[in-house]
Amino acid sequence: MLLDRFRLDDKVAIVTGAGRGIGQGCALAFAECGAHVVCSARSRNEIDATAERVRAMGPRALAIPCDVNQRDQLEHLVAETMREFGRIDVVVNNAGGWPPKPALQTSEKYFEEALRFNVTSAFLLSRLAIPHMLERDGGSIVNISSAAGRLPMSGFVAYGTAKAALSFMTKELAIELAPRVRVNAIAVGSVETSALTPFLDADLRAKMEAMTPMRRLGAVEDIAIAALYLASPASSYVTGKVMEVDGGLITTNWPY
């Protein structure tokens, strides 16, 4: 059965930023397809809630607080995963983001912090997990990038540059690690998460939907399904790709 290739039975997935939004959506999608999930984020309450929902589906779950900007906490995340499960099969580098700011108000520190949060953290977690993948059957890394990494927008010089770097890092790692470890990314468009909804009034929503070919904003499940495909054997012939899940954008739908 073709659908069986989407199964992740008894695989172990680490998902950062798993307390809400896209990270939580990925964790639940993986659990629905049989994976044990390590839920990581800075908020203990949020990842505990996600872990409970994973367990309710049947798989095991581990909630580990982690600030991805801190190398020692990433090391702890990987060590605890190996202690509990003895393997790592999937890593979703989802934690990221950065507030917009005009270029001439963007300090060197602000710019470099955006790079660390969105790119360096993903590299470090991947670097720590890959040796454990190679000890067994290989694995899959899914980086959550952004349409902002390919569509220039005023005010997004730090965030957009960071996501462009994450997308290119995906390709670099894929070439080096094939065929044992596949590395792909998702260039996410405007998705209704807690990061976007505070800015969404009726006028902004209408403008963004009108500027999106699919005439709607994305849902968390749109990204989670793409991540499931890239994490599972269904995409066993896919590596080094940046999948655009953005409603068909060819220009930005941010109207400012």
Inform me whether the pLDDT recorded for 193 exceeds 90. no
8 A C-beta contact, residue 40 and residue 12: no
pLDDT higher than 80, residue 256:
no
Strand, coil or helix: what is 98?
coil
For the segment 15-31, what is each residue's pLDDT rounded down to a tens digit? 999 999 999 999 999 99
Distance CA 230, CA 33 (A): 13
Flag whether pLDDT at 204 surpasses 80.
yes
Nearest to 25 by CA among 85, 87, 92, 84: 92
CA torsion, points 134, 137, 138, 142, in degrees to nearest 10?
Answer: -140
- Flag whether pLDDT at 97 surpasses 90: yes
Confidence of residue 195 (pLDDT cuts 50, 70, 90): confident
Residue-wise pLDDT for 47-78, tens only, equals: 999 999 999 999 999 999 999 999 999 999 99
237 is annotated as an active-site residue: no
Q: What is the pLDDT of residue 214?
A: 96
Residue range 204-225: average pLDDT? 96
pLDDT of 1 > 90? The answer is no
Confidence of residue 198 (pLDDT cuts 50, 70, 90): confident
Position 58 scores a pLDDT of 97
Q: What is the pLDDT of residue 197?
A: 78
Q: Looking at the predicted structure, is the pLDDT value of residue 229 above 90? A: yes
Q: Which of 110, 159, 237, 256 is catalytic?
A: 159
Is 12 in a helix, a strand, or coil?
Answer: strand
- 8 A C-beta contact, residue 194 and residue 251: no
Tell me if residue 51 falls in helix, strand or coil. helix
* pLDDT at residue 14 in the model: 98
Cα 218 to Cα 38, 180, 221, 227: the distances in Å are 25, 32, 8, 14
Which tens digits make up the pLDDT trace of 121-146? Answer: 999 999 999 999 999 999 999 999 99
CA distance 181 to 170: 12
Answer left, alpha or beta for residue 236, where phi above 0 means left and psi between -120 and 50 means alpha. Answer: alpha
Find residue 244's DSSP bridge partners: 187
What CA–CA distance (Å, rounded) separates 52 from 178?
Answer: 35
Domain range 2-245, its CATH number among 3.40.630.40, 3.40.50.720, 3.40.630.10, 3.40.1440.10: 3.40.50.720
C-alpha distances (whole Å) from 229 to each of 110, 236, 237, 256 are: 34, 9, 11, 33
User: Measured between alpha carbons, how far is 182 from 175 in angstroms, rounded to an integer?
Assistant: 9
Q: Are 102 and 155 in contact (CB under 8 A)?
A: yes
pTM of the model: 0.96
**Pick the residue with more confidence: 198 or 146?**
146
pLDDT of 194 = 79
* pLDDT tens sequence across 155-184: 999 999 999 999 999 999 999 999 999 999
